[in-house]
Amino acid sequence: MDRILEPEIMDDREAAAAYARADFSDSNQLYVDRVVARSGEHLSSVVDLGCGPADVTMRLARAVPRARITAVDGSEEMLTLAHRAIGAARLAERITLHLGRLPALALPEHSFDAVLCKDMLHHLPDPRTLWSEALRLGRPGAVVHVMDLVRPGSPLEAREIVERVSSREHPLLKEDFYNSLCAAFTVEEVRAQLRAAGLTFAVEPLSDRHMAIEGVLP
Ligand SMILES: C[S@@+](CC[C@H](N)C(=O)[O-])C[C@H]1O[C@@H](n2cnc3c(N)ncnc32)[C@H](O)[C@@H]1O
């Protein structure tokens, strides 16, 4: 099926709150464990693009005590939730929140050792936004770790995944998940995006709904 775009910025208060309440601990921890195992020595100055309520950001901060993380989102609602959670976890000294929308974030160019991004790529109408911003923000040699959804073959397959994985979740969240699956890219589409951006990253399918996109900036 063709891609069906969903709203880019998650600035609806109820939807943001439902997202923050949901339990993404398995996939968030899987992502953080993978980043730490593969790139632990690069995680001093990190940018987390599309941080949402910052669950991933906080897991990384706990796993790597020397990491200083700039967590970016275009949604004020998400950053309000993130601010609260980071304060409660006493991680505010190591996590800086930045309200901004890719591309052209007001952050210093080539200033990060690691560029992280989980589940934001599928929100972007134009995926080149992510790859050009990673090149602009990361230092040469910086590691990039992206994890995102894979678009299923049909709306029916997308519905089946939603029911299998999140049947007991809030209806708003289930609809959000379905829309996200329909908005996601295929592995081949991401490979083509990377070739066009001049990036030699690996794209690895992780399951029927997730892929990892990883590499080092030139
Ligand atoms: C599905 S959430 C993922 C949150 C978090 N990374 C996680 O995995 O739990 C995607 C987030 O990306 C943000 N986002 C989407 N497009 C963006 C853009 N162009 N600039 C900044 N944030 C963006 C949305 O507002 C939303 O909070």
pLDDT digits (tens, 9 = 90+) for 191-204: 999 999 999 999 99
pLDDT digits (tens, 9 = 90+) for 32-78: 999 999 999 999 999 999 999 999 999 999 999 999 999 999 999 99
pLDDT digits (tens, 9 = 90+) for 102-141: 998 999 999 999 999 999 999 999 999 999 999 999 999 9
pTM of the model: 0.97
pLDDT of residue 15: 86
pLDDT of residue 170: 86
Ligand 1 mean position, distance from CA 117 (Å): 8
Q: How confident is the model at residue 168 (pLDDT cuts 50, 70, 90)?
A: confident
Ligand 1 mean position, distance from CA 155 (Å): 23
DSSP characters for 163-175?
A: HHHHTTS-HHHHH
For the CA of 176, the nearest atom of ligand 1: 1
Ligand 1 mean position, distance from CA 38 (Å): 23
For the CA of 48, the nearest atom of ligand 1: 6
Tell me how far CA of residue 161 lies from CA of 5, 119, 140, 152, in angstroms: 18, 16, 38, 9
Say which CATH superfamily domain 13-216 falls into: Vaccinia Virus protein VP39 (3.40.50.150)
Ligand 1 binding pocket, CB closer than 6 Å: 8-10, 24, 50-52, 55-56, 72-75, 78, 101-102, 118-120, 123-124
Q: What is the mean pLDDT of residues 186-194?
A: 98
Q: Percentage of the chain with pLDDT > 70?
A: 100
In 3D space, the residue among 189, 187, 165, 185 whose CA is nearest the CA of residue 177 turns out to be 165
For the CA of 180, the nearest atom of ligand 1: 1
The tokens for 169 are: 């979740």
Average pLDDT of the chain, as a whole number: 96
pLDDT of residue 169: 85
Q: Percentage of the chain with pLDDT > 90?
A: 92
Domain parsing of the chain, residue ranges: 13-216
Give the residue, by CA position, lying nearest to ligand 1 atom 2.
52
For the CA of 124, the nearest atom of ligand 1: 16
Residue 76 CB contacts under 8 Å (≥ 6 apart), including other chains: 11, 99
